[in-house]
Amino acid sequence: MNIVVCVKHVPDATADRKFESDNTVDRVGVDGLLSELDEYAVEQALQLREKREGEEIEITALTVGPEKALDAVRKALQMGADKGAHVSDEAIAGSDYLATSLVLAKAIEKLGAEKPVDIVFFGMASTDASGGVVPAMVAERLGLPQVTLASVVETQGDQVRIKRDGDTATEVIGATLPIVLSVTDQSGEARYPSFKGIMAAKKKPVETYSLADLGVEASEVGAGAAYTEVADTTARPPRTAGEIVTDEDGSGAEALAGFLASKKFI
Amino acid sequence: MSEVLVLVDHVDGAVRKPTFELLAIAKKLGTPSAVFIGDAGSASGAVESLKKYGAEKVYTVDDSEVKGYLVAPKAEVLAQLVEKTSPAAVLLVSGGEGKEIGARLAVKTGSGLITDAVDVAEDGTATQSVFAGNYTLTGKVTKGTPIIAVKPNSASPEEGEGAGTVEELAVSVSDGAKGAQIVAAQPRQSTGRPDLTEAAIVVSGGRGTGGDFAPVEKLADALGAAVGASRAAVDSGWVPHTFQVGQTGKTVSPQLYVANGISGAIQHRAGMQTSKTIVAVNKDEEAPIFELVDFGVVGDLHSVLPALADAVEARKG
């Protein structure tokens, strides 16, 4: 079985994230790391392999981005993925969802050239753009069904069953491989890399691809090819400090009720 | 004026409120046309409510053949409608399903996609709130048909009789789109409270509840609010994941958000920072949530909330 896990290198959500003057995300001035939500995808891929003991299952961590993005792949390798794939090309900078999904889809086709890819894993969304639409776009491009936002993943043979909290119901979704699959943070704690894992990761192969290697034209990606245009980014004005009172013998509730009444909520 | 397609979000024909908000936005951009994909038998009720909120046209698509399959068939239906009507825009609800339908539709039609919009102007410029609500971004789709997924509570539904002309559509859905199927579904048990993402008021509880959500629920019911929770409360097993507000839960933007016993980590802020008015009750005066609030009470939620609920009831008189 051939599994690809797509991982993204993102600015640390707990740091002071900002935009550059050209309205692209500042990916240099802020420390980056493997998107926390992608760790769950790596974890589920590893668990799937553990559950299907005896089968030959290869897990590739795939990322798109500048040199630093390789850190995301390394983390996945430390956790237990077998090999890495890194699409790196200056032309990719500023790509939108559509271009990103194109590059990923082409890379997945390349990784499946000899042995078709059975499952493409994603996290539920990145922690920076947080659109959560790239898995569906990649599925559309590859002509595969997408099974998304899974909190429980089970497979048997070529059948997949997942559980998820849908918008209006708790659902069980069934599909036949190959598929695109995204998992949520409810799917289970991601493991920490062990010392052994960290050492082993250093020897694991990482293939680097340029756009040309994937048969993608530079004109199809990057800011120039974007289907959307950002006009403006502005830091939200800090909320003006509100009134804080300390509760003493019920005074807090009374003051709060007064505030809510003044705002016409009651 | 060109048509603006609005994909109707409904449960067995009962149209959900965010769809009416989309119709109000569609009116600014062109002529609102609702697209109802569902059981032919339940269409008439839906049409009535869509008309009431300004739909000039309602395309109805019988889903008997594709019911139970995930988003792909709906994306195919919309792609055929985009082809047929060359709309000024396609609007969807920015939830799990709406965003994924938009994603597939964008690839199919070679169109730009904007998700998580909180406002859309007459010229199609969409406003988004990003980085946990710390930045506001405005942007526009520049290629193809603008596909915009709009968050619930971003506009007020506007009543105003639309013509509501019904056009039944027969569309073809490929076998390829039937790859992922819902094999079992358990509808969410009704709590009798408003839906979290649609509610005008949300009352949330966190670690500080110590697992006792009764005071949170009591206040929520006094205010007619939805109940939410922080990830800490969900991970502790006190409330189901569907209550979670934050990065990996629901994003809410109500008129009033009441955070109780919630410290206010960045992941939680991501889900509520765009709320119009924010109020917090927390024992810890150093809790970061107090940086966000319009009004805060340093105190024990177990005594403050019941007293507040009583005060609310008393004022309702």
Tell me what the mean pLDDT of segment B192-205 comes to: 93
- Give average pLDDT by consecutive 10-residue segment, chain A, 266 residues: 95 76 76 88 98 96 93 96 97 92 98 96 82 93 95 96 87 96 94 96 97 96 90 82 90 95 92
Residue B248 CA from chain centroid, whole number: 15
For residue B82, the tally of other CB atoms under 10 A from its CB is 19
A63 interfacial to chain B (CB closer than 8 Å):
no
Q: Which residues in chain A are closer than 8 Å to B71, comparing Cβ atoms?
A: 136, 146
How far apart CA A48 and CA B297 sit, in angstroms, is: 47
Residue B297 has pLDDT above 80, yes or no: yes
Question: What would the mean pLDDT of B75-97 be, rounded to a whole number?
Answer: 96
Cis status of the peptide bond prior to A11, with omega within 30 of 0: no
Q: What is the pLDDT of residue B317?
A: 67
pLDDT level of residue B189 (50, 70, 90 thresholds): confident
Average pLDDT over residues B51-69: 93
Region B43-50: what's the mean pLDDT?
Answer: 94
Determine the pLDDT at residue A250: 87
Structure confidence at residue A31 (pLDDT): 78
Question: Among A135, A236, A252, whose Cβ lies nearest the Cβ of B134?
Answer: A236
CB contacts, 8 Å: B256 with chain A: 260, 263, 265
Number of CB pairs, chain A paired with chain B, less than 8 A apart: 260
In angstroms, the first-to-last Cα distance of chain A is 60
What's the pLDDT score for residue A129?
A: 66
Please report the pLDDT score of residue A263 as a whole number. Answer: 93
Smallest CA–CA distance from A15 into chain B, residue: B266
Complex ipTM value: 0.91
Helix (H) or strand (E) holding A4: strand A2-6
- Among B91, B114, B127, which residue's Cα sits nearest to residue B2? B91
Residue B1 has pLDDT above 80, yes or no: no
pLDDT in tens, B211-244: 999 999 999 999 999 999 999 999 999 999 999 9
The whole-angstrom distance between A202's CA and the closest CA on chain B is: 32
Q: What is the pTM of this model?
A: 0.90
User: How far out from the chain centre does Cα A157 lie?
Assistant: 26
Q: Does A147 touch chain B (CB under 8 A)?
A: yes
- Strand residues in chain B grouped as ranges (E): 3-7, 10-11, 14-15, 31-38, 57-62, 89-93, 113-120, 126-130, 135-141, 147-150, 165-169, 180-187, 201-205, 226-229, 256-260, 277-282, 295-298
The token pair at B55 is 């739909």
DSSP B88: S
Dist. CA A101–CA B309, nearest whole Å: 49
For residues A164 and B57, give the distance between their C-alpha atoms in angstroms, rounded to a whole number: 34
CB contact under 8 A, B11 and A234: no
A221's CB contacts (< 8 A; 6+ apart) are A89, A91, A92, A95, A99, A102, A103, A211
- Alpha-carbon span B147 to B6, nearest angstrom: 10
Chain B partners of A229 at a C-beta cutoff of 8 Å?
A: 139-142
In whole angstroms, give the CA distance from residue A261 to residue B16. 29
Region for residue A65 given its phi and psi (left: phi exceeds 0; alpha: psi -120 to 50; beta: otherwise): left
Distance CA B42, CA A236 (A): 43
Predicted local distance difference test score (pLDDT) of residue A102: 97
Residue ranges of A 8-27 with Cβ closer than 8 A to chain B:
13-14, 17-19, 23
Considering CB atoms only, which of A13, A144, A239 is closest to B179? A144
- pLDDT of B248: 87
Residue B247's pLDDT band (cuts 50, 70, 90): confident
